[in-house]
């Protein structure tokens, strides 16, 4: 590493290109296929490296794909944070989960009063929202405590795993139940309904009525229900199984949510609990990990402390930042990057960009990127703003459609936005740090459990590009050959003229 010739202490722009991963050229690499002259030039001309954004480097289990929550949390924290999926697995491996006093007391109470246990969650091993393996631990605990009936309300995926795999996972659920000696699938529903997070309560209510009231299309088997969907696994219609009579939630039953990630299950959790209360059903409820619900749902595994990150350092130093993103990623540049901390900070401004109507990402891969870019340019032009933090969502959000051609376009729109932002950075004397939060669009196919290669819109374990365009355009510093997302906050603080926070283990890359 040569001596840095960047002058620390300049204002800057931190730009997270969501889902911007790096992989060698391949037929399914949309990032490589896209024409991105500006990103290519910045990466080739200025200090750049690749940053680990998956697995242990960010606080996930080894080999686990990155995700937006842990990605932004580690970018903000400046250190890997043991993520909820890792903590749950540790509690399972140590036997703590099965002996968790909250779980034991719920299961014992159900055994005494003859109540049923309802388990609700996403049934796949995508490891972003849930891991179906966690279900077997809950089933084993219920069997050990002799809970008389256990109903599994299965949410199908097709987003964090290849589409068309729901049947395989539902078969796995049935096998897990058989191995545990308890549990049967009561109903099946796609995550498009059950895990809406955009406030579409008509979708959520389909899931509420399936789980609480056993209302849905009748199917003979879970596989038949999944197979009937003509919109893929994400949109399996609410289906009740014929051999699951009495699977509605009754007064005195128990409910355990087994997604470990909150953002896409909290809307359903709140709505379902409100419906149960409104229909005079008292149901003891637990969640595997902590949820950001309005209702206070006791969690089996507590979150890791994420304090002492970038937001705390910026606040202490009085550094003014503006946070900008589309609705889809707004929490990521505010709540998650701040360490899942919703404290209002007077040195922060938040700009949430929304567009008209229901988004059709395949048809509009540009999303609302022009407005995001306009907002970045506005903020960059204000001398009192020390730091602009923005998320460009397109590469990830369009990537999730699994549509290769649309994702190539999303990368190209992103390149055009970066061109405008890089020009504005130069004009306002700002450095510009570009980084992905996890891979996505650089790999658009995946091998399904049955061995076939299928279109895939989910995340990857690839590293992400990291580029620093210094405020001094002639700077020739080189970055270490490899970095991690934990190095971003120390580097940002360094560029702003501050030391890394004492809680940070990442290092300034310059
Ligand atoms: O919730 C989603 O949309 C995906 O499962 C994960 O994507 P994210 O981690 O980028 O939000
Ligand atoms: Mn992301
Ligand atoms: Mn994503």
Ligand 1 atom 5: residue of nearest CA? 160
Closest CA to 88 of 52, 121, 53: 121
Residue 125 and residue 260 in one domain: yes
**Contact at 8 Å (CB) between 10 and 453?**
no
Atom of ligand 1 nearest to the CA of 332: 11
Q: What are the two backbone dihedrals, phi and then psi, of residue 455, each rounded to the nearest 5 degrees?
A: -55, 140
Residue 347 in any domain: the answer is no
pLDDT at 358: 77
Residue 71 and residue 138 in one domain: no
Catalytic residue among 68, 85, 287, 321: 68
CB atoms within 10 A of CB 32: 17
Q: Is 68 a catalytic residue?
A: yes
Residues around ligand 2, an ion, CB closer than 5 A: 18, 68, 396, 437
Residue 346 in any domain: the answer is no
Residue 392 in any domain: the answer is yes
| b/e 378-409 (16+ beta carbons within 10 angstroms → b) | ebbeeeebbbbbbbbbbbbbbbbbbbbebbbb
Residue 10 and residue 132 in one domain: no
Residue 40 and residue 90 in one domain: no
CA distance 302 to 308: 18
pLDDT at 356: 81
191 labelled ligand-binding: yes
Decide whether any atom of ligand 1 lies within 6 Å of the 10 Cβ. no
Domain at 210, CATH number? 3.40.1450.10
Please name the residues in contact with 364: beta carbons below 8 A apart, sequence gap of 6 or more.
none
CA distance 195 to 121: 10
Residue 275 and residue 412 in one domain: no
Ligand 1 mutation pick, 121, 124, 263, 264, max ligand atoms within 8 A of CB: 264
Q: How many CA atoms within 13 Å lie on the side-chain side of 457?
A: 25
Q: Residue 156: beta bridge partners?
A: 190
Decide whether any atom of ligand 1 lies within 6 Å of the 118 Cβ. no
Residue 502 in any domain: the answer is no
Atom of ligand 1 nearest to the CA of 329: 11
Residue 220 and residue 109 in one domain: yes
Residues around ligand 3, an ion, CB closer than 5 A: 396
Ligand 1 atom 8: residue of nearest CA? 68
Q: What are the two backbone dihedrals, phi and then psi, of residue 257, each rounded to the nearest 5 degrees?
A: -90, 125
Tens-digit pLDDT profile for the chain (510 aa)? 344 444 579 999 999 999 999 999 999 999 999 999 999 999 999 999 999 999 999 999 999 999 999 999 999 999 999 999 999 999 999 999 999 999 999 999 999 999 999 999 999 999 999 999 999 999 999 999 999 999 999 999 999 999 999 999 999 999 999 999 999 999 999 999 999 999 999 999 999 999 999 999 999 999 999 999 999 999 999 999 998 988 999 999 999 999 999 999 999 999 999 999 999 999 999 999 999 999 999 999 999 999 999 999 999 999 999 999 999 999 999 999 999 999 999 999 999 999 887 789 999 999 999 999 999 999 999 999 999 999 999 999 999 999 999 999 999 999 999 999 999 999 999 999 999 999 999 999 998 777 889 999 999 999 999 999 999 766 678 999 999 999 999 999 999 999 999 999 999 999
Residue 62 in any domain: the answer is yes
| b/e 167-177 (16+ beta carbons within 10 angstroms → b) | bbbbebbbebb
Decide whether any atom of ligand 1 lies within 6 Å of the 156 Cβ. no
Taking the centre of ligand 2 as the mean of its atom positions, its distance from the CA of residue 302, in whole angstroms, is 23
CA distance 407 to 309: 32
Residue 415 and residue 313 in one domain: yes
Q: Structurally, how many domains does the chain consist of?
A: 2
Residue 266 and residue 404 in one domain: no
Closest CA to 174 of 222, 216, 235, 125: 222
Domain encompassing residue 426: 2-82+305-324+334-339+358-496
Please give the helix or strand (H or E) that residue 331 lies within, else none. helix 330-331
Q: What are the two backbone dihedrals, phi and then psi, of residue 472, each rounded to the nearest 5 degrees?
A: -85, 105
Residue 329 in any domain: the answer is no
Taking the centre of ligand 3 as the mean of its atom positions, its distance from the CA of residue 394, in whole angstroms, is 10
ipTM: 0.98
Identify the nearest ligand to the CA of 263 by its number.
1
Q: Give the gyration radius of the chain's Cα atoms.
A: 23
Atom of ligand 1 nearest to the CA of 438: 10
Decide whether any atom of ligand 1 lies within 6 Å of the 67 Cβ. yes
- Pairing outcome for strands 387-392 and 12-17: parallel
Decide whether any atom of ligand 1 lies within 6 Å of the 70 Cβ. no
CB atoms within 10 A of CB 248: 21
CA distance 158 to 451: 16
Residue 100 and residue 75 in one domain: no
**Contact at 8 Å (CB) between 422 and 432?**
yes
Please give the helix or strand (H or E) that residue 466 lies within, else none. strand 464-469
Instruction: State CA 118 to chain mean position distance.
Output: 25
Closest CA to 195 of 150, 153, 244, 136: 153
Domain at 477, CATH number? 3.40.720.10
Ligand 1 atom 4: residue of nearest CA? 160
**Span 328-379, pLDDT tens digits:** 999 999 999 999 999 999 999 999 999 887 789 999 999 999 999 999 999 9
Decide whether any atom of ligand 1 lies within 6 Å of the 264 Cβ. yes
Angle, nearest 10°, between helix axes 84-93 and 132-144? 40
329 labelled ligand-binding: yes
437 labelled ligand-binding: yes
Decide whether any atom of ligand 1 lies within 6 Å of the 128 Cβ. yes
Taking the centre of ligand 2 as the mean of its atom positions, its distance from the CA of residue 79, in whole angstroms, is 18
pLDDT at 7: 53
Query: In angstroms, how far apart are the furthest CA atoms of the chain?
Result: 74
pLDDT at 473: 67
Decide whether any atom of ligand 1 lies within 6 Å of the 234 Cβ. no
CA dihedral 374, 375, 380, 385 (to 10 degrees): 170
Identify the nearest ligand to the CA of 407 by its number.
3
pLDDT at 5: 41
**Contact at 8 Å (CB) between 383 and 356?**
no
Residue 353 in any domain: the answer is no
Taking the centre of ligand 3 as the mean of its atom positions, its distance from the CA of residue 390, in whole angstroms, is 16
Specify the 3-state DSSP secondary structure of 209: helix
Q: Does the model's pTM come out above 0.90?
A: yes
Taking the centre of ligand 2 as the mean of its atom positions, its distance from the CA of residue 467, in whole angstroms, is 17
Residue 165 and residue 293 in one domain: yes
Residue 107 and residue 61 in one domain: no
Residue 181 and residue 232 in one domain: yes
Residue 503 in any domain: the answer is no
pLDDT at 357: 75
């Amino acid at each position: 590493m040569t001596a840095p010739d960047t002058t620390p202490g300049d204002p800057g722009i931190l730009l997270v290109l969501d889902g911007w991963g790096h992989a060698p050229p391949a037929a399914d690499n949309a990032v490589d296929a896209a024409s991105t002259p500006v990103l290519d030039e910045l990466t080739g001309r200025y200090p750049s490296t690749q940053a680990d954004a998956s697995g242990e480097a960010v606080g996930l289990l080894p080999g686990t794909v990155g995700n937006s929550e842990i990605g932004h949390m580690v970018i903000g924290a400046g250190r890997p944070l043991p993520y909820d999926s890792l903590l749950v697995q540790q509690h399972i491996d140590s036997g703590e989960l099965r002996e968790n006093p909250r779980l034991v007391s719920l299961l014992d109470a159900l055994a005494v009063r003859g109540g049923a246990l309802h388990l609700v969650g996403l049934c796949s091993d995508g490891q972003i929202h849930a891991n179906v393996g966690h279900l077997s631990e809950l089933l084993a605990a219920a069997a050990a405590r002799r809970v008389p009936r256990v109903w599994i309300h299965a949410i199908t995926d097709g987003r964090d795993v290849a589409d068309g795999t729901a049947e395989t996972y539902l078969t796995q659920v049935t096998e897990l139940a058989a191995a545990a000696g308890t549990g049967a699938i009561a109903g099946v529903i796609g995550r498009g309904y059950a895990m809406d997070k955009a406030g579409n309560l008509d979708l959520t209510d389909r899931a509420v009525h399936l789980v609480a009231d056993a209302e849905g299309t009748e199917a003979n088997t879970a596989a038949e229900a999944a197979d009937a969907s003509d919109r893929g696994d994400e949109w399996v219609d609410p289906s009740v199984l014929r051999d699951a009579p009495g699977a509605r939630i009754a007064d005195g039953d128990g409910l355990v949510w087994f997604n470990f990630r909150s953002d896409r299950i909290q809307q359903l959790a709140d709505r379902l609990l409100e419906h149960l209360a409104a229909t005079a059903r008292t149901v003891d409820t637990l969640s595997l990990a902590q949820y950001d619900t309005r209702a206070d749902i006791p969690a089996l595994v507590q979150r890791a402390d994420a304090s002492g990150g970038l937001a705390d350092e910026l606040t202490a130093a009085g550094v003014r930042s503006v946070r900008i993103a589309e609705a889809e990623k707004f929490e990521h540049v505010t709540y998650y990057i701040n360490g899942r901390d919703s404290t209002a900070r007077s040195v922060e401004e938040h700009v949430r960009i929304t567009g008209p109507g229901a988004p059709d990402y395949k048809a509009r891969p540009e999303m609302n990127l022009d407005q995001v870019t306009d907002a970045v340019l506005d903020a960059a032009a204000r001398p009192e703003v020390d730091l602009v933090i923005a998320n460009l969502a397109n590469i990830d959000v369009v990537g999730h459609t699994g549509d290769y051609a649309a994702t190539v376009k999303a990368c190209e729109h992103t390149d055009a936005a970066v061109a405008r932002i890089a020009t504005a950075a130069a004009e306002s004397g700002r450095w510009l740090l570009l980084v992905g939060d996890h891979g996505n669009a650089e790999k658009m196919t995946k091998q399904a459990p049955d061995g076939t290669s299928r279109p895939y819109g989910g995340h990857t374990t690839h590293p992400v590009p990291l580029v620093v365009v210094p405020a001094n355009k002639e700077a020739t510093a080189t970055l270490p050959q490899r970095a991690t997302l934990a190095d971003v906050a120390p580097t940002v603080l360094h560029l702003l003229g501050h030391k890394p926070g004492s809680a940070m283990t990442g290092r300034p890359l310059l």
